Structure 1
Amino acid sequence: MLITTDRLVLRRFRPGDAETLAAYRSKPAVAIYQSWRAPYSVERARYAIETMAAADPEQPGWFQYAVELASRGTHIGDVGVNLNDNLRQAEIGYTIAPEHQGHGYATEAVRAVLDHLFRRGLHKVSAECDARNVASARVLERLGFTREGLLRGHTWIKGEWTDDLIYGLLEEDYFGAAS
């Protein structure tokens, strides 16, 4: 499975991605809003990549795309898609290494995945983010997602209750916005 944009290649994870995956997932600025804790070991990254490599993007469950710069072949992040059992809905998440943030890569990568998902017939894609993660919320809003709710004190993570923002994007809104 390969998705390309002008600047990016979204592909399956490979064993050689373990060190870069561990490096960006170990950064406190990345891990703060995620379920994992920093540091994120290379061994844990290897295991995650084995699991990701076995996943099928056309079947229910999580599939992670490795995001790399097309010009350099540099692995800079990932986009995850959790396809619902009904094959018509999905949840999406994304992570870009801090040194590559601020260049529009998250927006470009997620837009490419959304285009793929909606063209294969999905009805809705959802996303959830920590309410403090303003940059992630901006990416979703830039892509046309609607903020559907705020779940106050919803997630117990890393010793504290956090608020979660809930976003959704319908197929008809995506194609209406894309035209």
Structure 2
Amino acid sequence: MLLETSRLYLRRFHPGDEVALAAYQSDPETARYQPWTPPVSPESAAIRVKEFAEGDPDRPGWFEYAVELKADGSLIGDVAVKLHENLMQADLGYTLAPDRQGHGYATEAVRAVLDDRFRRGLRRVSAECDARILRSARLLERVGFQREGHRPAFSWIKGEWTDDLLFGLLADRWGTLAA
């Protein structure tokens, strides 16, 4: 395990995660705001799981944490961190299976990742979300991010222009929140 909370394990992806990954990434409402197109086949999910498993959390680029529910061992989502070349800042993203939303799992997982990353020396974490995903924006604010901007009609995704909300969290602020 890379990280552990009271209800979750945050770990590397491994063979066997393909079915659960394909299921939550195939949900039309979940995929609506993401770059992939549903349905996600088991074969595509297997390729993603292999790529995710090969990631290195300490090197620049994306690293995907698999979010596993301790109670039953099920994969319920992922938290992604893109470490910048300078190793002092990162971008954050997350996806949770629709039937597991609304129980605080995403908040718990994101807090664990942020705490670990700031303890390792990050100075800043950024996040952005489609302005229509109010629950995601509220999650970011709940864990301490501050809204830094609103970019109207900024992203062209799946045949429509979308507004993006920008968020940032500095290590100093995290230190006061986590204390």
TM over 0.5: yes
Q: CA deviation at 1:2?
A: 1.2
Aligned to 1:143: 143
Aligned to 1:107: 107
- Find the aligned partners of 1:145 and 1:33 in 2 and give their Cα distance: 20
Q: CA deviation at 1:171?
A: 0.2
Q: CA deviation at 1:72?
A: 1.2
- Find the aligned partners of 2:76 and 2:94 in 1 and give their Cα distance: 11
Residue-pair matches, total: 179
- Find the aligned partners of 1:83 and 1:3 in 2 and give their Cα distance: 17
CA deviation vs aligned residue, 1:124-154 (integer Å, no higher than 9, x gap)? 0000100000110010000010000011111
Identity rate of aligned residues, in percent? 60
- Find the aligned partners of 1:50 and 1:75 in 2 and give their Cα distance: 15
Aligned to 1:4: 4
Aligned to 1:175: 175
Report the 3-state secondary structure (helix = DSSP H, G, I; strand = E; otherwise coil) of the residue aligned with 1:15: coil
- Find the aligned partners of 1:85 and 1:34 in 2 and give their Cα distance: 24
Aligned to 1:83: 83
Q: CA deviation at 1:177?
A: 1.3
Q: CA deviation at 1:160?
A: 0.5
For residues 6-155 of structure 1, the aligned pairs below 5 Å read: 6-155=6-155
Q: CA deviation at 1:85?
A: 0.3
Q: CA deviation at 1:55?
A: 1.0
Report the 3-state secondary structure (helix = DSSP H, G, I; strand = E; otherwise coil) of the residue aligned with 1:150: strand
TM-score normalized by the length of structure 1: 0.98
- Find the aligned partners of 1:40 and 1:157 in 2 and give their Cα distance: 17
Structure 2 letter corresponding to 1:61: G
- Find the aligned partners of 1:22 and 1:63 in 2 and give their Cα distance: 18
Q: Structure 1: any 5+ residue segments left out of the alignment? A: none
Q: CA deviation at 1:41?
A: 1.1
Report the 3-state secondary structure (helix = DSSP H, G, I; strand = E; otherwise coil) of the residue aligned with 2:68: strand
CA deviation vs aligned residue, 1:33-91 (integer Å, no higher than 9, x gap)? 11111111111111111111111100000000000111211110000000000000000
- Find the aligned partners of 1:44 and 1:52 in 2 and give their Cα distance: 12
Which ranges of 4 or more aligned residues in structure 1 deviate by more than 2 Å? none
